[in-house]
Amino acid sequence: MTPRKLILVLTLLLLIGSVADARRADKPFENLDLVDAAGQIRKPADYRDRFQALGVYTVLDPKGNEMHYTYASPGTAEAYRKTGRFPDGTVLVKEVFGTTHAQLTTGDAHWADTTKVWFVMVKDDKGRFAGNPLWGDGWGWALFKSDAPDKQIATNYKKDCLGCHIPARETDWVYVKGYPVLGAR
């Protein structure tokens, strides 16, 4: 293949990829493979590889410290920095780990150990699943425990999820302070 043909082929591949990306950006929610027709949310299997890490919270608790790692679907952080809002179709995955620690040369070090739960939120600006008790306040809400990582166990977001998010109501129910990649707002 001549260099000129190679450049032409590469340019066409880039254009095809750009068109596909634009289609996904225009219809982000419709392209989610994580929500079925009834509004049941699945945990993405590959979130650690495909999603962007937003940040980590450390929760100090006498019963056992935790580390909360949060990931966002591709494009979320960039869109949030531009608008100060999570775009429709955004998927957030929070993985909660128990911790362990030891005295290292750097001091008392703590790190994530075993996964306890996953929380998954899907942004829904249009109220698509109004009759589903796991959808409301602009989000779909789901909870998965480590003993059954593929089984969503929340039954009602107001009972199972919203209580912990009340302090974050003004920031679309998300604790954005712990996510430096979202930028200052």
- pLDDT, one tens digit per residue, over 14-70 is 433 433 443 344 455 665 689 999 999 999 989 999 999 999 999 999 999 999 999
Model confidence over 85-98: pLDDT tens digits? 999 999 999 999 99
Residue 137 has pLDDT above 80, yes or no: yes
Amino acid sitting at position 86: F
- Give which of 185, 184, 182 is closest to 53, Cα–Cα: 182
Q: Which residue has the higher pLDDT, 101 or 1?
A: 101
160 vs 164: CA distance, rounded Å: 9
The mean per-residue pLDDT over the stretch 151-180 comes to 94
With bands split at pLDDT 50, 70 and 90, how would you rate the model's confidence at 135?
very high
Query: Which phi and psi (to 5°) does residue 167 adopt?
Result: -65, -15
Residue 179 has pLDDT above 80, yes or no: yes
